[in-house]
Amino acid sequence: MNTLAEDQGHAKVAAPKGRRSFVMAMFAVSGTVVGALLAIPLFRFATFPLRKTASEDDWSDVGLVTDFNALTAPVAKTITLERRDAWQVASSQTAVYVLPGSDGVLKVLSPVCPHLGCSVQWQDAQQKFICPCHSGTFAMDGTRLGGPPPRSMDTLESKVENGKLKVRYQYFRQLVSNKEPMA
Ligand code: FES
């Protein structure tokens, strides 16, 4: 014969079956909800390189536009490049030339010689760019004047945003007459 306690024990085991299922179901539902909430940032993190648009970090600050108001000749400026490789961001510095465009709009040139990639230098005294490696020469606006470079200096895409001049730095193929961006 079962004692009262044993009966109650049975009742404890048998009776709450429905309640236990309900509690387990609630755990399952809340677990799913929490999992989904946690998965959103994880998903955003995991897919960040896929969602990133090219415009987010391809633009580098060159300086305040007002700094270039009185520009009469090319000036070299150092910019910081940020390159994203999957989840790693590497930054490096390089130089560009800012010059007054003929239409009053600032122009930005890559200093990389389109011949073999040496750094082209602006020579104030001669009022032209000269490449130190094989004496390629370019006019103030970057137009090729002479020497082995197969084309003019490369103009970089630029824009003015919030009073700042920004540039989209790119590398271009050397030894070809057309300006071809490298991937
Ligand atoms: S690398 Fe500039 S002229 Fe050859």
The ligand 1 atom nearest the CA atom of 117: 1
Please determine, for residue 150, whether its predicted confidence score (pLDDT) is greater than 70. Answer: yes
Please determine, for residue 57, whether its predicted confidence score (pLDDT) is greater than 80. Answer: no
Of 120, 117, 174, the C-alpha closest to 150 is 174
Please determine, for residue 90, whether its predicted confidence score (pLDDT) is greater than 70. Answer: yes
Percent of the chain's residues with pLDDT above 70: 69
Amino acid sitting at position 154: D
Tell me what pLDDT residue 99 has: 96
Q: How confident is the model at residue 31 (pLDDT cuts 50, 70, 90)?
A: low
The ligand 1 atom nearest the CA atom of 149: 3
pLDDT, tens digit, 9 for 90 and up, residues 137-146: 999 999 999 9
Return the best residue to mutate from 109, 110, 112, 118 for the ligand 1 pocket (most ligand atoms within 8 A of CB). Answer: 118
> Which residues does 86 contact at the CB level (< 8 Å), separation at least 6?
49
Q: Which CATH class is domain 59-168?
A: mainly beta
The ligand 1 atom nearest the CA atom of 113: 2
H, E, C per residue of 55-96: CCCCEEEEEEHHHHCCCCCCEEEEEEEEEEECCEEEEEEEEE
Tell me what pLDDT residue 45 has: 41
Of 129, 168, 121, the C-alpha closest to 146 is 129
Please determine, for residue 5, whether its predicted confidence score (pLDDT) is greater than 90. Answer: no
Tell me what pLDDT residue 54 has: 44
Q: How confident is the model at residue 49 (pLDDT cuts 50, 70, 90)?
A: very low
Strand order in the sheet with 128-130: 121-123, 128-130, 137-138, 144-146
Please determine, for residue 2, whether its predicted confidence score (pLDDT) is greater than 60. Answer: no
The binding-site residues of ligand 1, defined as CB within 6 angstroms of any ligand atom, are: 113, 115-116, 118, 131, 133-134, 136, 147-149
